[in-house]
């Protein structure tokens, strides 16, 4: 049996399903593990319920992907529409932030006319060695996303624990609490 691409379920027969979402950066480029970038992602998640009708639960921002849980609230738009809009808005804001940092003059480390990113700036994190606005990956996100509807309370607890331990499994920290890019927006 040939399964090129499994179809998404049209409907789930549960009053308020919780979805486990994974979204990866284009070509898995490590650009997300920086304070300015995480603030953009989190601020868009905070607005999701009012703008699009989706409550956001726990999340983890990894260098090249994000995991988060979401649940439709009142007047929720379709999940695929919500994710598409979220990716569009975060892409615009991230690109704007990276362009600003990448082209800013760094008077401290490289002289008054240098456009080389200073160590620790968003551009340096993204770039890991290059300079200039060409370092901004376009597009920011891979096409599509992975969604998994959770089927029980136990499933949510298991998945949340798995997600929160992702930075440990990746060797980025020894303890999940040591990772700076995780949290929750709404209780689901």
- Stated pTM of the model: 0.76
Q: Residue 137: which pLDDT band, with cuts at 50, 70 and 90? A: low
Nearest CA to 19 out of 78, 75, 62 is that of 78
Residue 134 has pLDDT above 60, yes or no: no
The reported pLDDT for the residue numbered 109 is: 40
> What local confidence, expressed as pLDDT, does residue 107 receive?
35
Note whether residue 5 is domain-resident.
Answer: no
102 within 8 A of 115, measured Cβ to Cβ: yes
Give the mean pLDDT of the chain. Answer: 80
Give domain status of residue 63, yes or no.
yes
Residue 4 in any domain: the answer is no
Whether 6 is in a domain gets the answer no
In this model, does residue 112 exceed pLDDT 80?
no
Q: Mean of the pLDDT values across residues 5-17?
A: 59
pLDDT the model gives residue 163: 94
> What are the pLDDT digits (tens) for 51-98?
999 999 999 999 999 999 999 998 999 999 999 999 999 999 988 877
Q: Is 127 contained in some domain?
A: yes
Q: Using the predicted structure, report yes or no on whether residue 130 has a pLDDT greater than 90.
A: no
Where is pLDDT greater, at 187 or 120?
A: 187
- Choose between 102 and 21: higher pLDDT: 21
Boundaries of domain holding 57: 18-184
Q: How many domains does the chain have?
A: 1
The lowest-confidence range among 13-22, 81-90, 106-115 is 106-115
CATH number at residue 158: 3.30.70.1290
Within-domain flag for 29: yes
Most confident of 49-58, 124-133, 145-154: 49-58
Q: In what order do the strands lie in the sheet with 18-24?
A: 146-150, 18-24, 65-72, 54-61, 182-184
User: Does residue 7 belong to any structural domain of this protein?
Assistant: no
Residue 10 lies in a domain: no
């Amino acid at each position: 049996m040939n399964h090129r691409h499994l179809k998404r379920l049209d409907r789930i027969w549960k009053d308020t399903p919780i979805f486990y979402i994974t979204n990866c950066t284009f070509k898995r480029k490590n650009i997300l593990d920086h304070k300015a970038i995480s603030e953009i992602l989190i601020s868009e998640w905070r607005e999701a319920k009012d703008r699009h009708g989706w409550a956001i639960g726990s999340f983890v921002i990894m260098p090249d992907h994000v995991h988060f849980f979401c649940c439709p609230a009142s007047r929720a738009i379709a999940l695929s529409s919500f994710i598409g809009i979220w990716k569009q808005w975060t892409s615009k804001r991230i690109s704007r932030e990276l362009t600003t940092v990448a082209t800013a003059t760094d008077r401290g480390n490289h002289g008054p006319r240098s456009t080389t990113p200073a160590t620790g700036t968003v551009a340096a994190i993204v770039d890991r060695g290059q300079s200039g606005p060409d370092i901004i990956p376009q597009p920011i996100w891979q096409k599509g996303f992975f969604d998994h509807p959770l089927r029980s309370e136990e499933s949510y607890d298991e998945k949340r624990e798995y997600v929160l331990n992702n930075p440990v499994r990746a060797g980025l920290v020894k303890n999940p609490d040591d990772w700076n890019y995780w949290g929750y927006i709404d209780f689901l």
